Amino acid sequence: MKNGLNPPFEGACLCGAVQVCVAALPFLTLACHCRGCQKFSASAFSLTTMFPSESFSVTGAMITGGLKTHGRAHYFCKSCLNFIYSQIEGADHRINLRTSVLHEAAVFEPFVEVMTDEKMPWAEVPVSHSFSQSPASLDELQSLMAAYAARYHPHL
C-alpha cells in the first residue's frame, strides 16, 4: 500500500448487491495458505485486510457460509455468493475483509503470510513476515500490527 492512501475504502461483491465501506486504515494485511482458504477462494491462498469493526459498514443481503464453526462467522453475498468478510468471536473489534472485494484491492499488498505448512509449493507471496502456522499469540499479532503501521502509516 502506498503511503498517503486515504480512507474511506469502498468495495462490492461480484454482482454489486453487497456494498462495503471502511472508514479507517487497516490493522494488517495477510495471505493465508491453509487448505480451508484454498477451498474458500478457489485459489492458492486467500487475501485478508483486517480493519477495525467500528469503521466497517456493509449493505445488501448476506448469508453465512463455510463450516459454521462456533465462534467463526463467514459472510457471503446472498445473490452471487461472493465471500465478503469474516468475524471471529472474542475479536469483535476486528473484521477480516476479503481484500478482493475492495475497489483498490491491488494496493493492499499482503504484509504477512500464514499457514505456509499447507502452502502450494509453487505459490510465492512477497511478504515481510512468514509463519508456518498462525501467529502463536495475541502479543505476536499485536507486534505484527505495530510493524505494519510503522511501515504503511508511519505518520499516525
Listed in sequence order, the residues at least 6 apart from 64 whose beta carbon sits closer than 8 Å to its beta carbon are 73, 74, 75, 76
85 forms beta bridges with: 75, 97
In angstroms, what is the minimal distance from the CB of 154 to Zn ion?
Answer: 29
Backbone angles phi, psi at 2, to 5 degrees: -70, 145
In angstroms, what is the minimal distance from the CB of 5 to Zn ion?
Answer: 25
Nearer to Zn ion, 75 or 152 (CB): 75
Distance CA 59, CA 62 (A): 9
In angstroms, what is the minimal distance from the CB of 41 to Zn ion?
Answer: 9
In angstroms, what is the minimal distance from the CB of 146 to Zn ion?
Answer: 23
Whether 76 contacts 63, CB under 8 Å: yes
Nearer to Zn ion, 32 or 102 (CB): 32
Nearer to Zn ion, 80 or 88 (CB): 80
In angstroms, what is the minimal distance from the CB of 18 to Zn ion?
Answer: 5
Q: Residues in the site for Zn ion, rule: CB under 5 A?
A: 13, 15, 17, 32, 34, 37, 77, 79-80, 82
Nearer to Zn ion, 56 or 86 (CB): 86
C-alpha cell at 106: 491491488
Nearer to Zn ion, 13 or 50 (CB): 13
Whether 84 contacts 77, CB under 8 Å: yes
The burial class, CB within 10 Å (0-12 / 13-18 / 19+), for 115 is buried
